[in-house]
């Protein structure tokens, strides 16, 4: 799943080494930032510590970070670095967006990737300028409704790679020949089943609480991820087996 701007290792590199380097490379920095962010959020909102609470209420996340980092000169310097780090992250995302559109088919290859990426940049810039006051909160709440598909996607990939491809392997020369690639019906159906039958009824988010999530207290209990996982785990092997028997690809 890694893009072509990630680190490449020789083909002889042990699988376990690649796995653990990737795993800890993701887990350590992610866990550190999430734990620190949770502590700061708890201090600013739950415990309502004066300086942190005022900074967050009046200036949002940027104000809270500016208050935590001190003295003032160092704080401003850190905020500039964080701004550039966000821009750097968006550069990779825009590149991937252009590449993803080209993967939709040969017709999309007619437009150079540069212009697809430029289109994404323009759209993001317009949205950022127009919604600079409230867009971040709206997107955060909206994306939370969609995040449940990721667990189904992961289950499908793992089952395909570790179970169905264990003996069949991959024909790397057929990547751009639709007639040689899987139909995809089993994967799409399993993804929709996991989200609609598991994620939606079990989610507990700002804008929507599913009927099953409502059974767990007044604010709901978010069980959508677990339900999506189980449903995808059951549905995909059945549909993929039928798909292979029918189309043999």
Q: For residue range 148-176, what is the model confidence (pLDDT) as tens digits?
A: 999 999 999 999 999 999 988 999 888 88
> Is the per-residue pLDDT at 1 higher than 60?
no
- Return the pLDDT at 3: 58
Q: What is the average pLDDT score of the chain?
A: 89
- What whole-number distance in Å separates Cα of residue 7 and Cα of residue 19? 13
> Is the per-residue pLDDT at 29 higher than 80?
yes
Pull the structure tokens for residue 187: 């994967």
Q: What is the mean pLDDT of residues 50-67?
A: 89
What pLDDT digit, counting tens, does each position of 30-54 carry? 999 999 999 999 999 999 899 999 9
- Return the pLDDT at 232: 97
- What whole-number distance in Å separates Cα of residue 184 and Cα of residue 172? 17
- Return the pLDDT at 5: 65
- Return the pLDDT at 125: 87
- Return the pLDDT at 2: 55
Q: Where are the domains of the chain?
A: 12-68, 145-247
What pLDDT digit, counting tens, does each position of 176-200 carry? 888 899 999 999 999 999 999 999 9
Determine the straight-line distance between the first and last CA of the chain, rounded to whole angstroms: 21
Report the 10 Å Cβ neighbour count for 191: 20
What pLDDT digit, counting tens, does each position of 79-92 carry? 899 888 888 888 88
Cα-Cα-Cα-Cα dihedral sign, residues 61, 62, 63, 67:
positive
Q: What percent of the chain has pLDDT over 70?
A: 98
What pLDDT digit, counting tens, does each position of 200-227 carry? 999 998 889 999 999 988 778 899 999 9
Pull the structure tokens for residue 6: 């990630």
């Amino acid at each position: 799943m890694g893009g072509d701007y990630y680190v490449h290792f020789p083909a002889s590199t042990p699988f376990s080494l690649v796995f653990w380097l990737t795993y800890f490379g993701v887990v350590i920095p992610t866990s550190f930032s999430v734990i620190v962010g949770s502590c700061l959020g708890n201090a600013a909102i739950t415990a309502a510590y004066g300086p942190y609470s005022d900074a967050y209420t009046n200036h949002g996340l940027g104000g809270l970070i500016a208050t935590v980092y001190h003295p003032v000169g160092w704080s401003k310097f850190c905020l500039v670095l964080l701004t550039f780090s966000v821009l750097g992250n968006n550069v990779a995302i825009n590149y991937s967006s252009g590449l993803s559109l080209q993967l939709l088919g040969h017709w999309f290859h007619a437009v150079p990737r540069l212009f697809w990426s430029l289109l994404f940049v323009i759209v993001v810039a317009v949205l950022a300028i127009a919604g600079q006051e409230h867009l971040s909160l709206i997107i955060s709440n909206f994306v939370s409704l969609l995040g449940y598909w990721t667990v189904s996607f992961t289950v499908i990939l793992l089952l395909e790679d570790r179970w169905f491809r264990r003996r069949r392997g991959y024909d790397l020369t057929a990547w751009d020949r639709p007639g040689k690639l899987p139909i995809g019906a089993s994967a799409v159906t399993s993804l929709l089943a996991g989200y609609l039958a598991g994620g939606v009824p079990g989610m507990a988010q700002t804008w929507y609480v599913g009927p099953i999530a409502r059974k767990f207290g007044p604010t709901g209990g978010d069980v959508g991820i677990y339900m999506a996982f189980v449903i995808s785990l059951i549905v995909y092997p059945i549909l993929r087996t039928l798909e292979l028997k029918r189309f043999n690809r």
